[in-house]
Structure 1
Amino acid sequence: MTNTDVFSNKFNIQPQGDIVCHVKDEYGDIIVADTEDHRILRFEGINEQSKMSKKDVNLPVHHYSKAMLMATAFTCGRTALLLGLGGGALLRALHALDEQRVMDVVELRAHVLSVAREWFTLPGSDKISYHIEDAKHYLRKECTYPYDLIFSDLYTAFSMDPSQGTEAFLRLCLEKLSDQGWLVLNYYEVPRAGSALYCALREVFGEVLYCRVPSGNVVIYAARKPHLQTISELREQAKLMLSRLNISNEISDLSKNIVPLFP
């Protein structure tokens, strides 16, 4: 029995929705469940990997996805790399914001891509390329153009891929960024001063911000070089971007949580 099963039994917490698709691959279960308003992707247990609103498939549901999207306000660039697909929430929103944005999507599990295509309304566009590959292997390959945005959301059923918090991974991402590019990490805590990740971010990047979201996740924004905008200007740009996706005023205040990591 997994820890999630123990937690679920102890607190009588059950996964939401009726299961409409359940497949297995070498990494485990891939489950799609439906509620009246949402479609949910789970890998195992009760943890939601992705959630899609049936009324507006382009509207991100999870707060960390909204926080990650705020990075699009920090650059006018139109190339993006997504490490980790899940149910495609970030991909759909990015495409809705700019249908001409050129995007590469890297997903380890072929079955996740197949399920996302069948059940989660992935956008059909010749601007989007999918790669079934380990993220670190992909980052080591030569690419034809630098990315203005790299979104890293690498999670298994129960935890973050630990490589996402290493200096080696950060340097691989840096090599793929444009001069004005930003790396956007979905992390599980604010890097503590003196920790390995804190020191690596300080060593590798010219500017680092973060945003703590209500769910507890922390989204880290790391730029190759410092930018001229003030924090207040970046927050206002992020708030305006969220309004383009019709995200409510309550959640648009998420932009107020953007702060520098380093004093």
Structure 2
Amino acid sequence: MAKFGKEILRRHDGYGVIQVFDNGNKRTLMFGADDEQGCILNRTPEIVQYDYVRAMLLNLLFQKDIHRCLLLGMGTGALATSLWHHLEHLKIDVVELRQTVIDLAYSHFYLPHDERLNVQCGDAGDYLKNSDNTYDLIYSDIYHATGMDAQQGTRKFIKHCCDRLTHDGWLVLNYWQQHKKLDLIALLRQRFRYIWTNNINKENWIIYATNSSITITEKQRKAELKRLNNLFGFSLSKVNKGMKCYEQDQ
């Protein structure tokens, strides 16, 4: 654990241990030994650090008119903080299973208290099933200390995500490479017309799905990428290289 700095907090809840480490520059959330759940820079928590999280933002190359967003799973809250900071008119709902994780996101990872950001404790699947809210964008990244929440790889979960999206909405999911065996593309094709994939660092597999027609040209995409790089204050260029229409992966 030395590479993460000093352990500054340890909590236990019904799901296990939660630790916070700080090395002076970076603060890290852990769910037990070698299970890094997220990190932020202390001075600029809105600057996303992980490539896979940056890759999840690439739907913004194509999707301009976003009013309401849902995040399933939170970790440090880095993605929520970044969206809140850089997209000033966006309303964000977050669903996180563990109340302790929510508490620490506010107390130790600088998650903002603001009316545009609504965080609630609960199960992601239950929320999707029971909510009447609709969203222009859903990000799903639900993981425990032992790996991905199994429901994120099911037909029911994807259906419920689709039910909560507006007609032109986007669903962005974080999987690991090993989850390719679940045949998730086939499940998504039952609900979405367009699917994009992105392999990140031989570990993460990001999937983007939408029913919105994509008319952006390559020239426009490059210009939009430059705009997003300037807007967010970090580069999406590296992760953009791997984002392809699913048919191009074959």
Change (3 A) 1:216 1:242: farther
- The aligned runs of 1:154-233 (5 Å cut-off) are 154-189=142-177, 192=180, 196-214=183-201, 216-230=203-217, 233=220
State the alpha-carbon separation in 1 of the partners of residues 12 and 154 from structure 2.
30
State the alpha-carbon separation in 2 of the partners of residues 100 and 118 from structure 1.
24
- The aligned runs of 1:43-192 (5 Å cut-off) are 43-75=31-63, 76-144=65-133, 146-189=134-177, 192=180
Deviation (angstroms), 1:232: 6.3
Q: Does 1:247 align with 2:242?
A: no
Q: What SS class does the counterpart of residue 238 from structure 2 fall into?
A: helix
Deviations along 1:107-127, one digit per CA (max 9) or x if unpaired, are 011111011110000112101
| 2:153–2:182 CA contact under 8 A, matched in 1 | no
Query: Gapped runs of 5+ residues in structure 1?
Result: 1-12
| 1:64–1:217 CA contact under 8 A, matched in 2 | yes
Q: What SS class does the counterpart of residue 105 from structure 1 fall into?
A: strand
State the alpha-carbon separation in 1 of the partners of residues 29 and 97 from structure 2.
16
Q: What SS class does the counterpart of residue 243 from structure 1 fall into?
A: helix
| 1:151–1:184 CA contact under 8 A, matched in 2 | yes
State the alpha-carbon separation in 1 of the partners of residues 142 and 246 from structure 2.
21
Change (3 A) 1:190 1:181: farther
Amino acid in the other structure paired with 2:200:
V
Of Structure 1 and Structure 2, the greater strand share is in 2
Equivalent pairs counted in the alignment come to: 247
- The normalised TM-score by structure 1 is 0.87
| 2:20–2:27 CA contact under 8 A, matched in 1 | yes
In the other structure, the counterpart of 2:10 is 22
| 1:59–1:245 CA contact under 8 A, matched in 2 | yes
State the alpha-carbon separation in 1 of the partners of residues 222 and 161 from structure 2.
24
Deviations along 1:95-139, one digit per CA (max 9) or x if unpaired, are 111122111100011111011110000112101111111000000
Change (3 A) 1:65 1:207: same
Amino acid in the other structure paired with 2:36:
E
Deviations along 1:57-96, one digit per CA (max 9) or x if unpaired, are 1100111111112223322212100000110010011011
| 1:110–1:132 CA contact under 8 A, matched in 2 | yes
| 1:17–1:33 CA contact under 8 A, matched in 2 | yes
State the alpha-carbon separation in 1 of the partners of residues 227 and 150 from structure 2.
33
| 2:26–2:40 CA contact under 8 A, matched in 1 | yes
State the alpha-carbon separation in 2 of the partners of residues 200 and 33 from structure 1.
38
Deviation (angstroms), 1:235: 5.8
Query: Gapped runs of 5+ residues in structure 2?
Result: none
Q: What SS class does the counterpart of residue 204 from structure 1 fall into?
A: coil
| 2:177–2:202 CA contact under 8 A, matched in 1 | no
Change (3 A) 1:95 1:177: same
| 1:80–1:101 CA contact under 8 A, matched in 2 | yes
In the other structure, the counterpart of 1:7 is none
Amino acid in the other structure paired with 2:14:
E
| 2:46–2:78 CA contact under 8 A, matched in 1 | yes
Change (3 A) 1:165 1:238: farther
Deviations along 1:221-252, one digit per CA (max 9) or x if unpaired, are 1113432235664465345313322214xx52
| 1:243–1:252 CA contact under 8 A, matched in 2 | no
- The normalised TM-score by structure 2 is 0.91
The percentage of aligned residue pairs carrying the same residue is 32
Deviation (angstroms), 1:256: 1.7
